[in-house]
Amino acid sequence: MPPPSLLGYALLALLARRPATGYELSKRMRRPVGYFWTARHSQVYPELARLEAGGLVRHEVVDGAGPRPTKRYAATAAGVEALRTWLVTDMEPQPVRDLETLRLWSVWLLDAESALTLVAECRAVHAERLADYERELATLVDDPQAKDPRHPQFASRVTLEGGVRSRRVFVDWLDWMATELQRCSAAGAPGPP
Amino acid sequence: MPPPSLLGYALLALLARRPATGYELSKRMRRPVGYFWTARHSQVYPELARLEAGGLVRHEVVDGAGPRPTKRYAATAAGVEALRTWLVTDMEPQPVRDLETLRLWSVWLLDAESALTLVAECRAVHAERLADYERELATLVDDPQAKDPRHPQFASRVTLEGGVRSRRVFVDWLDWMATELQRCSAAGAPGPP
DNA sequence: AGGCGCATGTAAGCCGTTACATGATTCC
DNA sequence: GGAATCATGTAACGGCTTACATGCGCCT
């Protein structure tokens, strides 16, 4: 029996907090887990079956709405333990894939106007996410459970705080880039002839 | 002929700056492009063939060291234009995959000591990257070309600046998390009985 | 003599996305 | 009546990683 995939650990992380159906897990993989990890339902259902085969989750049939029986999954003690073990094993840094930066790395190919448009578009993407995170974080700051390091809400709060901080920096950075583009354009060549 | 994949645009971005062999492109996909996009050589060679079939790059044989002929690739005018067009088409936000945050989201499962170890490990990863970026950025700040928005070095400088800023925030965030863990532990339950 | 860097490619397999498929209930 | 939500699954395909394969020149 091979160890769970990264997706498997993501699902265990959700189920360690509370039991859920595959459908609910798929929804939470969009939000709030989607803030740092994503998966579609077509990935979730087979992975749940694999986790169950490994004894890390277990299901009971609860029969709700739908053509097939509805299954409510829960993490087993072995599942929570596997997750705990994974948390403390050291891992090498993951490859980064940042499409916005990839585009901005070629900003030198664009005229002043298009460049500013590209920067503004990237800013809008990050600003929207920032607003999401801030709204979500606001629901947690008053929660006394979010102050207990052994309560899931604590982890939710601190990871959200990280999301807010990093998105804020991206927005600031893109604002800085816009002024830098204008400052350097003014100093150098006066645009296309 | 389908439009290039994201990898195709990454390679075009490299070749728009200067011609290179597949091997050199693979190296640059580790560093400095690897700061925001990655690819192995086994992905690079077939993609170059596809780009060439689409008329976006072209190669000449230069014969260096190796069992097969060495090919030096360059972007064609059509290739640069395809890249330019892609830069200004709007795209939906990409899914995020952040393994460190995924792990930290389950930090509530750990005892105080293991939690601090996990946070410290994540901090070390980001701190190492930050040092890389800062070293690279230092080589650019004195370059007068990096002040010209139409010069590739300008784009290198501003994207690196973004990398430095975001990594710095991650390190600060993880330091904050460590103090938060200790502050909240002290206020609440006094650890395992 | 062995290992590393240069240099290019192919093959197997995993992971993830998109699309297909089914069917109940609730809201407009 | 039609769309959206609930709910679960399969199939085809593409992207990416890992491993296999080859072979020269340089350094120790």
A173 within 8 A of B165, measured Cβ to Cβ: yes
Q: Tell which residue, B21, B32, B87, has the closest CA to residue B59.
A: B21
pTM for the model stands at 0.95
How confident is the model at residue A60, as a pLDDT? 96
| Confidence band for B191, pLDDT divided at 50, 70 and 90 | very low
pLDDT at A11: 98
Answer whether B145 touches A (CB < 8 Å).
Answer: no
What is the percent of chain A where pLDDT is above 90? 88
Within an 8 Å CB–CB cutoff, is residue B40 touching chain A? no
pLDDT tens column, A109-136: 999 999 999 999 999 999 999 999 999 9
Return the exposure string of A35-57: e unless at least 16 CB atoms fall within 10 Å of the residue's CB, then b.
Answer: bbbbbeeeebeebbebbbebebb
Mean pLDDT over all residues of chain A? Answer: 94
| Mean pLDDT computed over A82-86 | 98
Show residues, CB within 7 A, near nucleic chain C: A 5-7, 38-40, 42-43, 65-68; B 21-24, 26-27, 41-42, 45-46, 48, 64-71, 95
| pLDDT at residue B118 in the model | 98
- Show the tokens assigned to B140: 């650019």
Comparison of pLDDT for A189 and B121, the residue scoring more: B121
User: Residues of chain B with pLDDT > 90: what percent?
Assistant: 88
- Asked if residue A163 has pLDDT above 50, the reply is yes
Task: State mean pLDDT over B52-68.
Answer: 89
Q: Which of A43, A104, A106 to mutate to test the interface with B (most CBs of B within 10 A)?
A: A106
Mutation for testing the A interface, residue in B108, B126, B128 having most A CBs under 10 Å: B108
Residue B19 has pLDDT above 60, yes or no: yes
Q: CA-to-CA distance for A178 and A114, rounded, in angstroms?
A: 11
- Res A73: pLDDT: 98
Give the pLDDT band of residue A193 (cuts 50, 70, 90): very low
Min Cα separation A67/chain B (Å): 30
User: Which of the two residues, B187 and A159, has the higher pLDDT score?
Assistant: A159
User: What is the nearest CA distance from A144 to chain B, expressed in angstroms?
Assistant: 11
Q: What is the pLDDT of residues B118-167, one digit of tens each?
A: 999 999 999 999 999 999 999 999 999 999 999 999 999 999 999 999 99
Residue B92 has what pLDDT?
87
Question: Average pLDDT, stretch B63-76?
Answer: 87
Q: Are A103 and B14 in contact (CB under 8 A)?
A: no
Paired strand residues for B72: B21, B60
Nearest residue of A to residue B80, measured between CA atoms: A109
Task: List the single residue in A33, A109, A165 with the smallest CB-CB distance to B87.
Answer: A109
Q: Which of A95, A100, A155 sits opposite B108 (nearest CB)?
A: A155
pLDDT for res A1? 81
* Å separating the CA of residue A63 from the C1' of nucleotide C20: 24
What is the average pLDDT across B158-187? 96
Q: Give the model confidence (pLDDT) of A176-185 as tens digits.
A: 999 999 999 9
